[in-house]
Amino acid sequence: MNQLHEKYAKEIAEILAKYPADRKRSAVMPLIYLAQRDGNYITKQEMSEIGEILEITTTEVASIVGFYTLYHDKPGGKYRIQVCTDMPCALRGAEEFLVNLCENVGVKVGETSEDGLFSIEAVMCLAACDKAPMFQVQSDDGIEYHENQTVEDTRALIDGWKKKEG
């Protein structure tokens, strides 16, 4: 039995019970979510273990982790700020917003701040093209969406999160 199964045996059983035995691979997304719950990212080992549970390859699990913005395969900040930079958002200034935000926070795209609080990432399509620049932030509090942003507005949010963290 793998470590993930040992740690979350009850939850895994509950998730798998929702799917027919011959379709258990459909449980991949809930299992990924479960695996990254504690550390806010999923390790290669956990991807492998999910593959074993579902009888699919680690590559299949990793492809889902890589595709969706809510899954992460490496550690990040307590607040993951994900700026949409697809074409419609770029036309509304998202790329410039992202560059300026990173400069303001003192990180490069994909990096985490020295205090470990903030990661800033570029992502595709957060479904608010007409409200760009926009981003979602993932934290222990869930997911929040912020639309029609300026660097100043976002900096005020960041300062508020820093204050909250002490």
pLDDT tens per residue across span 147-158 = 999 999 999 999
Choose which CATH entry (1.10.357, 1.10.3470, 1.10.10, 1.10.150) describes domain 3-67.
1.10.10
- What would the mean pLDDT of 90-99 be, rounded to a whole number? 95
pLDDT digits (tens, 9 = 90+) for 31-90: 999 999 878 899 999 999 999 999 999 999 999 999 998 899 999 999 999 999 999 999
Sequence-separated contacts (24+) of 136-140 with Cβ below 8 Å: 136/69, 136/81, 136/82, 137/79, 137/80, 137/81, 137/82, 138/40, 138/70, 138/79, 138/80, 138/82, 139/78, 139/79, 139/80, 140/78
**How is domain 79-165 classified at the architecture level of CATH?**
3-Layer(aba) Sandwich (3.40)
Q: Per the structure block, which two tokens stand in for 67?
A: 């595709």
Q: Where in the chain is the domain with CATH 1.10.10?
A: 3-67
Dihedral class, residue 55 (left if φ above 0, else alpha if ψ from -120 to 50, else beta): left
- What would the mean pLDDT of 111-119 be, rounded to a whole number? 94
